[in-house]
A and B are shown apart, each in its own frame.
Chain A
Amino acid sequence: MKERLFTSGRDMLNIDPVVNAWHWEIPAYLFLGGLAAGLVFFASFYYLRGKEDQMPTAVKIAPFIAPIAIVLGLIFLLLDLKHKLYFWQLYTTIRLDSPMSWGAWTLGVVMPLSVIWPLLYLDDLKKYFWNRNIVIYEIIDWLEKLINDFDFTKTIMGWFKENQKAIAWANIILSVILGVYTGILLSAFNARPLWNTAILGPLFLTSGISTAAATIMWMAYDHYEKVRFSRIDLWLIAVELFLITHMFMGLSSGTSASMDAAALFLGGPYTVVFWVGVVGMGLLFPAVLESMELLGYKVPIAIPAFFIILGGAIFRFVMVDAGQFSKYFFQ
Chain B
Amino acid sequence: MRYAMAMDTKKCVGCADCVVACQTENNVPEGYCRDWIVENVDGTYPLLDLEIRSERCNHCEDTPCVRTCPTGASHVIEGGIVKVTHEECIGCGACIESCPYDARYFHPDGYVDKCTFCDHRVEAGDTTACVSVCPTEALTFGDLDDSESPITKLLKTRKWKVNAEEAGTKPQVYFLT
Contacts and interface: CB of A to CB of B under 8 A. Distances in A.
Interface of A: 1-16, 19, 21-22, 80-84, 86-87, 89-90, 92-93, 95, 97-101, 104, 188-192, 255, 257, 324, 327-329
Nearest to A185: B94
A80 B110 CA distance: 11
Q: Name the residue in A15, A16, A83 with the highest tally of chain B Cβ atoms < 10 Å from its Cβ.
A: A83
Interface class of chain A by DSSP: loop
B71 A6 contact: no
9 contacts: A3-B43, A9-B16, A14-B105, A83-B90, A84-B110, A87-B90, A90-B71, A95-B71, A188-B98
B98 A189 contact: yes
Q: Name the residue in B44, B71, B105 with the highest tally of chain A Cβ atoms < 10 Å from its Cβ.
A: B71
Nearest to B19: A9
Contact of B97 (A16, A19, A104): A19
Contact of A190 (B70, B89, B163, B168): B168
A195 to B, nearest CB: 8
Interface in B75-97: 87-94, 96-97
B67 interface: yes
Given A5-B40, A89-B71, A329-B101, 18 more contacts: A3-B42, A3-B44, A4-B41, A5-B39, A6-B39, A12-B105, A21-B97, A82-B90, A82-B106, A83-B89, A87-B90, A89-B88, A95-B70, A98-B70, A99-B68, A189-B97, A328-B100, A329-B163
Given A2-B43, A189-B64, A19 B31 contact: no
B167 interface: yes
Nearest to B93: A21
A82 B41 contact: no
Contacts, number: 158
Nearest to A19: B102
A179 B99 CA distance: 25
A153 B112 CA distance: 45
A97 B105 contact: no
